[in-house]
Structure 1
Amino acid sequence: MKEKILPIWKKAQVVWKNYGYYISLVCLLSLFGLAAWLYRTGNHDADAVYAASAAQPVLAQETAAVSPAPTAEPEPSWRKPVQGELTVEYSPEELQWNETLSQWRTHGGVDFSADTGSVVMAAADGVISAAYKDDLMGYTVEITHSGGWVSRYACLGTLEMADPGETVKQGTTIGSVGTSALAEAADGPHLHFELLKDGRPQAPEFTD
């Protein structure tokens, strides 16, 4: 038995001596391949999660690309807030004589002379945002409109017709003409009306 095994062993030694490096390399590569295959077959779920997470930013970009652009708010059209005569023009830079205060002043709105108790109406659709008594301009109501506009009604006879937070349509009664503006008392009963765009006074332009 020993005589049969010894020649085989010697041949194996010769083969290993001549080709052992290559045999080791093949075995090593086979082991690496087997390990990689086992790793891949055991991590399908992880690959699926990774693929799903990688796809999410693409979907978000596609959604953002088709989102419609915001539309600008429509500009309101203005109706005269009271039936009366225009007595004092809008004059934000040129000085006008104020009889009550006996001084030259600018005038950030327009004045309409009317009988005490005359109906004062909303100049455009909006929401009543304030109703208060100003030290100089008396009972005052403010309405917020679309596009950053605010209309202001001063020298009113009462605040009982204005409810802050109430939505009003153009022509809705919000007050009455009075004489509550101490800074314009010499002008008699009238409505002092102002328009502001983003907080800045504007010249009123009416459609009627």
Structure 2
Amino acid sequence: MRLAPLLLLPLLAACNTDPTATTETAATPPTATPAASDTGALPPPDTARAKAVSALGDTLRVVRQRRNFSHSEGPADAFRLVFRGPSVLKGTAEFTITDPSGQVIFREMLTEPDLEAALVYELKTPTATPAEREAYVLRRIDQFFQPAQFQKPAVGPQATFPSSIENLDQATWADLKRRPGTIGFDYLKGKEDRQRLAWSPLKKQTVRVR
């Protein structure tokens, strides 16, 4: 019975071990942390990309071009067309212009019919096959930002005021006519609706001038 204290010495030594060293050794490595899907927690929303998400489906095509627009010199603006949807013939395109500071100064949604409508002028037969329609839409997207579509000045000195354009006032039009350095961007929407955009220094926004 007197030998019992000697038997307890190893146990007492174990109880006096430094707990800090034990914690570091037993720490769970980062890879062992349960995923958000396992815990039921959702990741925080990415507000920076919220506008780039579309319920239509996957991104099918993206075209980008950097051209001067809001300023005739200096850093260029970013022109971008993102085409999304379940298929080419059921997609929608988002057309944006972003200035050098990162501010979106123009946004427009273009439907698949907006991009396909002019195909009628190229048809050799009464109708087009789905493959021909898809090829035409993709070609329109790929060629959306051609160099020839950027015009300078945006409004020529002999141009007449287009009264049919909504939200374009005489003062903005007259100011653009006095600025030979302004740049216009032309694009086709639908079958024959050729539009021109320009940056108005007077209104500090993108306006349609044709």
Please state which band the TM-score falls in when normalised by the shorter chain. Answer: under 0.3
**Greater relative contact order structure (CA < 8 Å, 6+ sep):** 1
Higher CA-based Rg? 1
Whichever structure has more strand as a proportion of its residues is 1
TM-score norm. by structure 2 comes to 0.28
